[in-house]
Structure 1
Amino acid sequence: MGTVALQLERSTSGVVAASASVVFNTVLFTSGNISYAPLTGIITINEPGRYVINWWAVTQAAIASAGPGFALSSSLGASIQSNSPNKIGPFSGAGVINITSTPATISLVNSTSGDITFSSLVHTKAGLTLFKDEPPGDLSDSSLCFSYAQLTHVIEQLITLYPASVMSVFTTNANVVTGTATSLYTSPNADGAGLFILTDSLGQSEAIPIAAICGIYTGEATVY
C-alpha cells in the first residue's frame, strides 16, 4: 500500500456546470506528496506512479437528456468516464491513472453538456478517494510474491464459485468495498494480477489493488 493517499467529501448542495470540476469542500484524510485546492477541485500529484481513484455522487437533476456523467480527468490526457441513466440518485465510478511526469493534476469533471445538480436530500453529496498503488516491501522477496500469487488464486476461485454473491473486501487503508466479484486485471507488462474488480449495486466497477487487500467476506450462503 502506498504512502500517498487522499479522501475528499462534498457536503454542500449546488450545481456543477458542464466541463467544470466537482469541488469537494472537506479533506477527510491526506498523506504523502499530494495536495488539493478546495476552491477549484484540482488534485495535484507530485510523485510518479499508478494511482487508484474511486468516487461517488448523489444527483438531483441533470440537464443532459442522457443523464448525469462525470469523468476522471488528468493533465496528462487521461479521461475515464462514468454515466448514469438516472437523473436522480447515487452513482459511482473508478479509474486507474498512471502518472509518468510530475506535477500532474487530476479532477472529477462534469462530462455532460449541461449542469448537474447535487441532491439536497442527503448530507454528503459526493466523495472521492485516491491512493498510490504500490506493494509494501520488495517484490523480489519470494515469500511476498508467493503470498500475492496465493491470494490471486483464491480470488479466482471466488469469482468462479460465487459470481452472484455480494462480497465485502477490507483494505489496508480501512476502507470496505462491497459488490460482486467480476474479474482480476493484469497489466500488459505484469506477471500476475494487480487489481481485483468488483461490481457494486449500481453496476459501477470498483478496482482494488491486490496488495491493499487484508480480508474478504464472501457473503451469506457461501462456504470458503
Structure 2
Amino acid sequence: MSRSLAQAAPGLLASVATLTEMAQAIAGGADIVDLKDPARGALGAWRTADLAAAVVRWRALPPGAPPLSATVGDQPLEPGALAAAAARVAATGVPLVKIGFALGPETGAEALAACLAALAPLARAHRLVGVLFADLRPDLALVPRFAQAGFAGIMLDTADKTAGSLRRHLDDRALAGFLSAARAHGLMSGLAGSLTRADAAPLAALGPHYLGFRGALCATGRTGALDPARLAAVRAALRRAAAA
C-alpha cells in the first residue's frame, strides 16, 4: 500500500478531480492517485457516490495498480466533524484517507489531542494520513502524536493556494526536520502545496516518500483539467532527481 520507509526516491502523488483524470494518472505512472476536488478547497472532497465508483474501478485493475487516497474536505478542527468526515470516506473502501488539521500557533497540542482521540478508533481499521498546513504555522513538534494515534502517514501542504508554495512558508531545514520526525516514528511522509516541476529535485533530496502535485499537472491551474503531458514531465523530473 505504500513505499518502503527506507526508499531513496519519492513517489508521485497526483491529485485528480474526476474518474477520467484518475484513469489518466494511473496510465501516466502516478504512485498514488489522490481523489481531491480542487474547486472545493485545499482538500476538497469528492462526493461519496463518486468515491465509491472510483474504488470499484480501482479494484478491477490488475495487481500492482497504484493505491488511491482521498481527502475528507476542508473541515474545522473539531473532533466530531473530523471523525464523521473521515468515517464517510473510509467507508467507501479508499485505501488511504487524508485528513487536514488546521493547526496554527494558537491551536496546538490540546486541540490536536482531542481530534486524534476521536480518530484513533478509525485509525485501527483504516490507513489515515494527517495533513498539516505550512502557511498556518503549525507546531511540527506535534508530528509524533500522529504515530501514537495509529496514523499511517503525515503530509505538509498549504491551505491558501493563492499565498505561495510550500517552500515560501517553510525552508528546507524545517522541511527536513519534519521528514526526519516522520521517519523516526514510522510514518509515511509527503510534501505538497502548489509545487512546481522545479521543486522536484530539491524536495526529493530531502527524502520524502511522496511529493504531491496538482497545479503543475494542469495547463490552466489547479482547477483546470489534468494534462497527461505535464504529468509525464513531472514524472520525468522525479526520475531525474532519483538518478542524480
* TM tier, smaller: under 0.3
Under a length normalisation based on structure 2, what TM-score does the superposition of the two structures give? 0.25
Under a length normalisation based on structure 1, what TM-score does the superposition of the two structures give? 0.27
Is the strand fraction higher in 1 or 2?
1
Relative contact order: is structure 1 or structure 2 higher (C-alpha 8 Å, sep ≥ 6)? 1
